Amino acid sequence: MSAEDIALKVENLKVHFGGKKSILSAKSNTVHAVDGINFEVKAGTTFGIVGESGSGKSTTALAIMRLVQITGGKISLKDCNLSELEGEALRAARSRFQIVFQDPYSSLNPRKRAGALVREPLDLMKIGTPRQRDEQVSELFSQVGLRNEQQQLFPHQFSGGQRQRLGLARALATRPELIVCDEPVSALDVAIQAQILNLMVTLQEDLGLTYLFISHDLGVIQHICDVVAVMYLGEIVEIADRVSLFTNPTHPYTKALISAVPSVLSNNQDRRTRMRLEGDPPSPINLPKGCRFASRCPIAEKRCQEAPPKLKTISGEHKVACFLN
């Protein structure tokens, strides 16, 4: 994959919260929300991050959007080092990367009409003339399946699915190079989820969009993503293209996640050999020195408790962090 093909590159990203309780105490209360992850997103594709609640996937999304403080590492959007931008430089770069949040209602100003909400990024970035902005807003409404006259409505006058369409239109307004989608359909009914996902695929095909898609729902991930990273307790434990991940999951945690959702099991997987996930993850404050999944892993060995496994390539783009693979 050439450098020109890469839209987003994340290198050793860390996001830690908190710190030492006092100067007299050696014990730290630092939460290792994201702890040194690496991945690349090819332009025009959808890269998914999946994991349980608390795995660090949403914090990763917020860090890439520069909405939480980055502890360490580098985030590059093509030729731009996002992790170094501050103040006016960061504000100016925001037209290049946008986000769609989980709850469309709470992310839209209830006092503004829909047309003004979609137009707001254009006004803030001073993109085009006032007339060109009006024309672009009308085009965006059409692209996301909303009627032009609905520009005059307030957010509460839309259904949940329509509000998420508004969120998409707003994110598209500045023609960004990257759209981060943080659980964008989890608050919607299943039928509406399918409509929004299909709309996102159509928009990607028509506009050449690049998505970073965060979800806990493996069915959604399987439907829309080209490459998938599995996160556990702040780390990526497996990363592969969609087909490889769902037909040949390698990490015990990935196997357990897929086993828990019968609808995404491949035809050649024996349902009687599902791997069950038991127990709770270790504390992100007091992390084990070995593999972070070892205490819940049914096949863990002594060495798994003693040192953390590194992410290694097993075939093509398929990587896994496990001593037993």
pLDDT in tens, 290-319: 999 998 998 888 999 999 999 999 988 899
Tokens of 97: 């990367």
The residues near 180 (Cβ < 8 Å, ≥ 6 apart) are 61, 64, 65, 97, 98, 99, 100, 211, 212, 214
Name residue 249's amino acid. Answer: P
Number of H helices, E strands in the chain: 10, 12
Give the separation between CA 38 and CA 25, rounded to whole angstroms.
Answer: 32
Q: Which residues pair with 15 in a beta bridge?
A: 34
Domains of the chain: 3-320 (3.40.50.300)
Matching residue, tokens 């994959």: 1
Residue 26 has pLDDT above 80, yes or no: no
**Confidence (pTM):** 0.91
Rounded to an integer, what is the distance from CA 95 to the centroid of its chain? 18
Strands 80-81 and 97-100: unpaired
166: confidence class by pLDDT, cuts 50, 70, 90: very high
pLDDT tens digits along 178-221: 999 999 998 888 899 999 999 999 999 999 999 999 999 999 99
Alpha helices in the chain (DSSP H): 57-64, 87-93, 114-124, 130-143, 160-172, 190-207, 218-224, 242-247, 252-259, 302-306
Determine what percent of the chain is predicted with pLDDT higher than 70: 91
Q: Pick the more confident residue, 188 or 50.
A: 50
